[in-house]
Structure 1
Amino acid sequence: MNINEVNEDEMRIWNMWKGSFKRIFGLVVKEMSEHTGLSEGDFGVLDRLAQLGDGKLRQQELADSMDWDKSRLSHHLTRMEKRGLILRKPLDANRGVEVVITSVGKSALNDALPIVSRAIRKHFLDKLTDQDIESITGLAERTKK
């Protein structure tokens, strides 16, 4: 076997890791969506606007922070704008577009945050031991970009 190949046990671990993340993430998103009507993308945009930009960010900065391409974000923002969650304002001198959270968006985010927190605790944090937390923290630190 080539040193770069993944053996059966390693592939099983990889698939378990992916499956666990997808299940937990899916449960958190499902609970949030059912209670607030926000999608994962909606929450991501609103949360980043509030956390990274004090309520506003250049559209390109927002796209970069979400690791989304410009087109995907633009289409998503159009849908959010129609629902009154955000506004887009052109900036002077070809500096792009600024995305601003509205009062409706702030309210939706504030409604979602406790639901997301409870779901994260229920489906993830409450299931971890202290050793699990140390292992996850170590892995996350070793695999940072």
Structure 2
Amino acid sequence: MSETRWLTPREAEIWATYRRLCRDLRRAQDQQLQQDSGISAADYALLAPLSESADGVLRARDLGVEVDWERSRLSHQISRMEKRGLVVREACEDDARGSMVRLTVKGRETIEAAAPGHVEIVRQLFFDPLDADEMKTLGEFLGRIVATVEGNAGGRA
């Protein structure tokens, strides 16, 4: 068994800063969506990929993969959104066990109304503090980290 590679004080500081960033960005986005559009971040998480899909329809399983949610969480969220008229479930023609999720007219209007404020808060809090060189570097760093995480998804480094 290998010896634990503890974080250095600087690494621990960077990791804590990253965790605070994730928490604070999520909180700011949640507040902005609720205040400006009356929807939750969970609503937005499902409305966005549906609005970007062909005909506003996705297979429920694919939508769950897109947002990385378990089937039960996805099903409960879709049910809540159905009650508010944002989406409807339809039978899947290819698979009787599967279902499709369709964006309604109200759902499309909701995401189109919410998107400008969402984009503005992302721009204001994430991109505006960076200059072009820093943004390029951050993109490269994030790409490398994501590739490492995805390459290690099935095991440990």
Whether the TM-score (by the shorter chain) exceeds 0.5 is yes
Higher RCO, 1 vs 2 (CA within 8 Å, ≥6 residues apart): 1
Quote the Cα distance in structure 1 between the aligned partners of 2:44 and 2:136: 28
* Sequence identity (%): 28
Give the whole-Å Cα distance in 2 for the aligned partners of 1:12 and 1:73.
Answer: 35
Does 17-26 or 77-86 show the bigger shift? 17-26
Match of 1:88 in 2: 89
1:99-118 alignment to 2 at 5 Å?
99-118=101-120
CA distance, structure 2, for counterparts of residue 65 and residue 42 of structure 1? 14
CA distance in 1, matches of 2:51, 2:12: 39
Q: Out of 36-45 and 125-134, give the one that drifted further.
A: 125-134
- The 8 Å contact of residues 60 and 101 in structure 2, kept in 1 or not, is answered as yes
Residue of structure 2 in register with 1:133 after alignment: 135
Which residue pairs with 1:74 in the alignment? Answer: 75
In the TM superposition, 1:1-145 aligns within 5 A as: 2=3, 4-92=5-93, 93-144=95-146, 145=150
1:66-103: CA deviations, max 9, x gaps? 10010000001000000000000112342500000000
**Structure 1 counterpart of 2:43, one-letter code:** D
For residue 44 of structure 2, give the secondary structure of its aligned residue in structure 1: helix
Shift in Å, 1:9? 2.0
User: How big is the shift at 1:15?
Assistant: 0.6
Give the Å deviation of 1:26: 1.8
Change (3 A) 1:142 1:79: same
Give the gaps of 5 or more residues in structure 2: 151-157
Whole-Å Cα distance in 2 between the matches of residues 35 and 87 of structure 1? Answer: 24
Change (3 A) 1:119 1:49: same
Partners of 2:123 and 2:22 in 1: CA distance: 14
How far off its partner does 1:51 sit? 1.5
RMSD over equivalenced CA pairs, Å: 1.5
Contact 1:28–1:123 (CA<8 Å) still a contact in 2? Answer: no
